[in-house]
Amino acid sequence: MALPLAIIGFMGSGKSTLGKQIAEKKGIGFTDLDRYISESTGRTISSIFKEYGEERFREIESQCLHDVLRIPDQVVAMGGGTPCYLNNIEIIKTLSTSVYLKVSPENLTRRLISSKNPRPLIKGKSQDELLNYVEQKIKIREEYYLQADFIIESDQIRVEDLLSLVFV
């Protein structure tokens, strides 16, 4: 049995896409933490933010993180903020092998503008406002992201790169 592989990084960095590919190649399970939260609460992420606020969302997120990381042999895609609140980074470091997908603010902004996934924190932002937001927020969040066991610094992350790095 192996510790779960936790994929962390900013919104739009491709955590779920890459996580699913790794899980498929390794023949192990895949969990998207946001989806797990939605299924556990019966609400979308947007409606949790709207009805209960971000602080409550972070509590629910942390509880769900604890639940999910107890399951071995799986890949878990975190939410962009997951490692940065409460003591989640310590939990991630203790209960998983972690990988930070580091993508430039310019590319994140490009991807987020064209994404159809509703994200309450960036709703209604223009491209310029979004780039500014991403740049500022990454500066704060990297204190946590950079504590991952592995950092993949690339705007073109390939599943093969990750597999050879993590599963040597």
Give the residue among 97, 86, 102, 95 at the shortest CA–CA distance from 9. 102
When asked if residue 7 is in the footprint of ligand S3P (CB under 6 A), the reply is no
Q: What is the arrangement of strands in the sheet containing 150-153, beginning at the earlier edge strand?
A: 29-32, 74-77, 5-8, 97-102, 150-153
State the nearest-atom distance from the C-beta of 168 to ligand S3P, in Å: 27
Question: Which among 75-83, 97-105, 142-150, 159-167 is the span making contact with ligand S3P, rule CB under 6 A?
Answer: 75-83
Q: Is 111 in the site for ligand S3P (CB under 6 A)?
A: no
Asked if 120 touches ligand S3P (CB under 6 A), the answer is yes
11 scored as a contact of ligand S3P (CB under 6 A): yes
Q: Which stretch binds ligand S3P (CB under 6 A): 17-25, 65-73, 96-104, 116-124?
A: 116-124
Give the type of residue at 62.
S
- The alpha carbon of residue 85 and the mean position of all alpha carbons in its chain are separated, in whole angstroms, by 13
Instruction: For residue 15, give the H/E element and its range.
Output: helix 15-26
Distance CA 113, CA 22 (A): 25
Smallest gap, in angstroms, from Cβ of residue 17 to ligand S3P? Answer: 10
Binder of ligand S3P out of 4, 80, 83, 105 (CB under 6 A): 80
The answer to whether residues 35 and 105 touch, using CB atoms and an 8 Å cutoff, is no
Q: Name which of 35 and 158 has its Cβ closer to ligand S3P.
A: 35
Neighbours of 35 (CB within 10 A): 13
Please state the closest distance from residue 20 (CB atom) to ligand S3P, in A: 13
Where does this chain bind ligand S3P (CB under 6 A)?
11, 34, 45, 79-81, 119-121
